[in-house]
Amino acid sequence: TIFMTKLIVANWKMYLTLSQSIALAKRISNFKFLISKLELVVCSSFVGLEKVGKVLNGTHIKLGAQDVWPEPRGAFTGEVGLDDLAELGVEYVLVGHSERRRYQGETDAVVNTKLRAVLAAGMQPILCVGEPKRELGSKNHEFRKAKNYVRNQLRKNLKDIPNSKFMIHNSPIIAYEPIWAIGTGRPATPEDASEMHGWIRKVIVEIYGGRASGQTEARPTRIPILYGGSVNSKNAAGFLNAPHIDGLLIGGASTKAEELKLILSAC
Ligand code: PGA
């Protein structure tokens, strides 16, 4: 892989109460890890952000949100806006997680709007993509379908996000999360995930071109691509060692301190 530092993102979803979130954050804040090896981001619930953020303050662990409304403030009853996230010190925002697409009906257009808003606010969006189900048929057939699905999602979700966004430090991060692997205990194999990541990188270069103008580095090819879906302490190393996999997006296993610690030690 091209990244020496792995990006590990804990997605606590709605698994923990506020007090449980604080307790877990305290345990995690005592973890020893090498920042040359990994960057750790904790995405707590909105309710937990302030207090979890306080616990993590002064550590190397970064704060992330699981979603956001793509406006700073305003008449949006029940939503949480970008200004609040900024004030709380949020640096990363999950955008387009499959659970939001599924239960909140988030369309590709909404995901695109959120992505642009998060970038404009100077935070790092983590765009989640992935095919809904495994296709029957040969491996090739399955892969062709899944790859087309993911390419379509990327094209729609990254629509009209200018190339220049890739030249500043807060470029989008991509998380490949095949929906059939999320919370099922049946992850993709590292080989398959790796192949899809290679494909995603190709699609990004296809959308943006290999080089951003005036830059000597090919920025779009430097976007980290994370794998997510039933990652745990037993299978993490396999993903982390696979080509094209720059980090992990972890749900269930990230809510257990010991599991998370073991995963970090695999980096
Ligand atoms: P999981 O969730 O690790 O519990 O499968 C991953 C995710 O949805 O981000």
Residue whose CA is closest, atom 6 of ligand 1? 251
Tokens read off for 35: 């920042």
Half-sphere exposure (Cβ direction) of 262: Cα atoms closer than 13 Å: 12
Q: What is the mean pLDDT of residues 4-30?
A: 97
Give me ligand 1 centre to Cα 53, in Å: 22
Residue 260 in this model has a pLDDT that exceeds 60: yes
pTM of the predicted model over 0.85: yes
Identify the band that residue 211 occupies on the pLDDT scale cut at 50, 70 and 90: low
Contacts 24+ apart (CB under 8 A), 75-80: 80/46
Instruction: Please choose, from the candidates 198, 197, 199, 206, the residue with its C-alpha nearest in 3D space to the C-alpha of residue 249.
Output: 197
pLDDT band at 164 (very low <50, low <70, confident <90, very high): low
CA distances from 260 to 8, 9, 217, 224, 231 (A): 10, 10, 34, 20, 10
Q: Which residues line ligand 1 (CB under 6 A)?
A: 11, 177, 182-183, 228-231, 249-253
Active site residue 177: yes
* pLDDT range class, residue 217, cuts 50, 70, 90: very low
Residue 74 burial (CB count, 10 A)? 9
Q: Which amino acid does the sequence have at 234? A: K
d(CA 170, CA 92): 9
Residue 153, phi-psi category: left (phi > 0), alpha (psi -120 to 50), beta (remainder):
alpha
Q: Residue 210 has what pLDDT?
A: 59
Task: Evaluate if residue 169 carries a pLDDT over 60.
Answer: no
